[in-house]
């Protein structure tokens, strides 16, 4: 089992769907993965968002968006978490407000454990990037008399794993 396999297994356990793609195919993969209307944060990998994903929009358009696409800066195999950086690019609200969150993760950025992720967080904080969220599955509550997914945050999370092109 590789760390990627562990990560994908953990996603399955959380009912988080995923695609595996390459950098070249990423825009097409994303175009299929989003539900319109979609908004997005410019990606941290060398690829563009598909045309159907808006990068300029008003707060109410954010509120009404069906999908938010953001970079995921790290994946944690132990927990199936993706790490979203709270940057000026709006990763935090875009991963939070729309019903569906699509997280784009470079397969090279998957670490094994929560402790690895905290080590990485500490180095990020030291570098002046001090705000991140470890997001694990959809938002959830049991406060209304039964377990419900999709509360203040998304009720669907989809991970797009970008792997090196081996061809």
Partner 1 sequence: MSSERKQKAAQLRHLLETEGPLIGPKVSSKNRDRYAAAERFDAWDSTRDEARAIKEAAIADLPELLEQLRESVEANGGTVYVADDAADANRYVTELCDEQGAETLVKSKSMTTEELELNDALAAAGVDTYETDLGEFVIQLAEESPSHIVGPALHKSREEIADLLNATFEPDEPLETAEEMTRFARDYLGERIREADVGVTGANFVFAESGSMALVTNEGNARKCAVTPDTHVAVTGIEKILPSVDDFGPFVDLISKAATGQDISRYVSLFTPPVASPTLDFESDEPIEFGEATAERDDPDDDRAFHLVLVDNGRTELREDDQLRETLYCIRCGACSNSCANFQAVGGHGFGGETYSGGIATGWEAGVHGMDSAAEFNDLCTGCSRCVDACPVKIDIPWINTVVRDRLNRDADPDTFDHLVDGLSPDEEPSGLALDKRLFGNFERLAKLGSATAPVSNWLADAGPARAAMERVLGVDRRRDLPRFRRETLVDWFDDRGPRVAADDASREAVLYPDAYTNYVLVDRGKAAVRALEALDVRVHVPRVRSSGRAPLSQGMISTAEDHAHHVYAGLAEHIDAGRDVVVVEPSALAMFEREYERLLAPESADRLADASYEVMEYVYGLLENGGSPDALGSPPEAVAYHSHCQGRTLDLEPYTVAVLEACGATVRTSDVECCGMAGSFGYKESYYELSMDVGEELADQFAGEPVVAASGTSCQEQLDALLGGEVPHAVELIAP
Contact 161, 4 (CB under 8 A): yes
Q: By CB under 8 A, what part of segment 12-41 binds partner 1? A: 41
Query: Tokens in use for 22?
Result: 């390459």
Please select the residue that binds partner 1; options are 57, 66, 107, 163, rule is CB under 8 A. 57
Question: Applying CB under 8 A, does 79 fall inside the site for partner 1?
Answer: yes
Distance CA 38, CA 35 (A): 6
**CB nearer to partner 1: pick between 152 and 167:** 152
| Among 9, 29, 12, CA closest to 21 | 29
Distance of closest approach, residue 128 Cβ to partner 1, in angstroms = 3
Question: Applying CB under 8 A, does 91 fall inside the site for partner 1?
Answer: yes
Question: Applying CB under 8 A, does 77 fall inside the site for partner 1?
Answer: no
Strand ranges for 6-57 from DSSP E: 17-22, 38-40, 53-54
Q: Bridge partners of 68? A: 39, 101
The strand pair at 156-163 and 100-106 is best described as parallel
Distance of closest approach, residue 83 Cβ to partner 1, in angstroms = 9
| Among 44, 56, 61, 57, CA closest to 103 | 44
**CB nearer to partner 1: pick between 27 and 42:** 42
Q: What are phi and psi of 107, to 5 degrees?
A: -55, -25
Question: Applying CB under 8 A, does 96 fall inside the site for partner 1?
Answer: yes
Please select the residue that binds partner 1; options are 90, 98, 109, 159, rule is CB under 8 A. 90
Question: Applying CB under 8 A, does 51 fall inside the site for partner 1?
Answer: no
* Chain positions contacting partner 1, by CB under 8 A: 41-42, 44, 55-60, 62-63, 71, 78-79, 81, 85-93, 96, 114-115, 117-119, 121-122, 125-148, 150-154
């Amino acid at each position: 089992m590789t760390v990627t396999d562990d990560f994908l297994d953990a996603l399955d356990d959380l009912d988080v769907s995923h695609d595996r793609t390459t950098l070249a195919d990423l825009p097409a993969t994303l175009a299929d993965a989003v539900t319109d209307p979609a908004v997005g944060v410019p990606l941290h990998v060398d690829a563009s968002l598909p045309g159907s994903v808006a990068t300029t929009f008003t707060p109410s358009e954010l509120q009404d968006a069906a999908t938010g696409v953001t970079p995921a800066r790290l994946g944690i195999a132990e927990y199936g978490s993706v790490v979203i950086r709270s940057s000026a690019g709006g990763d935090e609200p875009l991963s939070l407000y729309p019903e569906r969150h699509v997280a784009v993760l470079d397969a090279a950025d998957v670490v094994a454990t929560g402790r690895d992720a905290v080590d990485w967080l500490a180095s990020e904080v030291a570098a002046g990037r001090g705000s991140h969220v470890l997001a694990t599955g959809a938002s959830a509550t049991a406060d209304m008399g039964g377990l419900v997914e999709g509360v203040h945050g998304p009720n669907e999370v989809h991970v797009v794993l970008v792997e090196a092109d081996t061809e």
